[in-house]
């Protein structure tokens, strides 16, 4: 059986642990709120009504693709494309290609940043693997203007950060919704987690300060994993309604 991502790939290690995936989720939640195309998700009303669920669903699709057999992964990619085409039809205009690329670039960046925060530095070859997997996702969606190599992606990523992000009324409202749905304590944890993985441009636009009180807790959290106490930590920190979904993110690879 041929898988979309080979079983030995570091990409499976990144997406096979719930804590790594949750940091991917946290970073994407911050950056996506700044994207100039975020109004597209406000068009359906689903994002402000359930921002955590909506973003979680994007991450879940990506994870399913990573662990699926090749044909099944392609069907998921086609389904994602079909959903977006339906929204475009309802609104009577097209989501710009750069907006699709931005989401793809986010998944690449936060996959690497989260793994390096919680595990170890990636080699150049491993970074290339992460890039290749999501490049194939983008190609499967029929996206245009994709970078051909990891080095080209680095250049395009910086360009997108400089041109496609702004703090808008949607940004402010989305963070307000995060706090509403998470509660003040969990919201503060989310923001501190975001500070550790977002690029400097995102941190600047969101007004993140240089102080991060959660950073010293990362080595302690790693120690709880050794003692197998990390599940208790996550049970305490995460909303009850998503606990089963979060448990399901842990995959034996």
Model confidence pLDDT, tens digit, residues 27-56: 999 999 999 998 877 776 666 677 777 777
Q: Give a yes or no: residue 253 inside a domain.
A: no
Q: Which domain, by its residues, includes 129?
A: 10-247
What pLDDT does 39 receive?
A: 84
96 inside domain? yes
pLDDT of residue 42: 75
Express as a percent the part of the chain with pLDDT over 70: 85
| pLDDT of the residue at 229 | 47
Q: Is residue 242 part of a domain?
A: yes
Cβ density class 8-36: b for 16+ within 10 Å, e for less = ebbbbebbbbbbbbbbbbbbbbbbbbbbb
- Would you state the pLDDT for residue 182? 86
Q: Is the pTM of this model over 0.85?
A: yes
Domain membership flag for residue 252: no
Gyration radius (Cα) of the chain, Å = 17
* pLDDT category of residue 253 using cuts at 50, 70 and 90: very low
Residue of 21, 28, 13, 3 lying closest to 249 (CA atoms)? 21
Nearest by Cα to 51 from 41, 36, 63, 60: 41
CB 60 within 8 A of CB 104: no
Residue 3: inside a domain, yes or no?
A: no
Q: Is residue 121 part of a domain?
A: yes
When pLDDT is averaged across residues 115-140 and rounded to a whole number, the result is 96
Give tens-digit pLDDT for 214-246. Answer: 788 777 666 566 545 456 556 555 666 666 666
Q: Check pLDDT > 90 for residue 205.
A: yes
The verdict on residue 2 lying in a domain is no
Percentage of the chain beyond pLDDT 90 is 56
The tally of domains found in the chain comes to 1
Does some domain include residue 5?
Answer: no
159-202: per-residue pLDDT in tens?
999 999 999 999 999 999 999 988 898 899 889 999 999 999 99
């Amino acid at each position: 059986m041929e898988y979309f991502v080979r079983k030995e790939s570091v990409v499976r290690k990144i997406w096979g642990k719930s804590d790594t995936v949750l940091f991917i989720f946290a970073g994407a939640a911050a950056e996506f709120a700044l994207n100039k195309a975020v109004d597209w998700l406000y068009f359906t009303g689903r994002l402000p009504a359930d921002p955590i669920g909506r973003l979680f669903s994007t991450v879940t699709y990506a994870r399913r693709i990573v662990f699926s057999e090749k044909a099944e992964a392609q069907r998921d990619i086609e389904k994602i494309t079909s959903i977006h085409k339906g929204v475009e039809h309802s609104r009577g205009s097209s989501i710009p290609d750069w907006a699709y690329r931005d989401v793809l670039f986010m998944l690449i960046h936060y996959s690497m940043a989260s793994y390096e925060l919680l595990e170890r530095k990636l080699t150049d070859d491993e970074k290339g693997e992460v890039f290749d997997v999501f490049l194939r996702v983008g190609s499967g969606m029929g996206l245009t203007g994709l970078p051909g190599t990891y080095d080209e992606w680095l250049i395009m990523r910086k360009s997108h950060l400089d041109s496609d992000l702004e703090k808008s009324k949607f940004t402010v409202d989305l963070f307000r919704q995060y706090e509403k749905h998470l509660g003040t304590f969990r919201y503060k944890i989310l923001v501190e987690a975001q500070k550790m993985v977002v690029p400097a441009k995102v941190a600047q636009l969101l007004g993140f300060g240089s102080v991060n009180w959660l950073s010293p807790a990362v080595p302690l959290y790693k120690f709880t994993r050794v003692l197998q106490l990390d599940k208790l930590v996550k049970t305490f920190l995460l909303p009850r309604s998503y606990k089963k979904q979060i448990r399901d993110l842990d995959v034996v690879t």
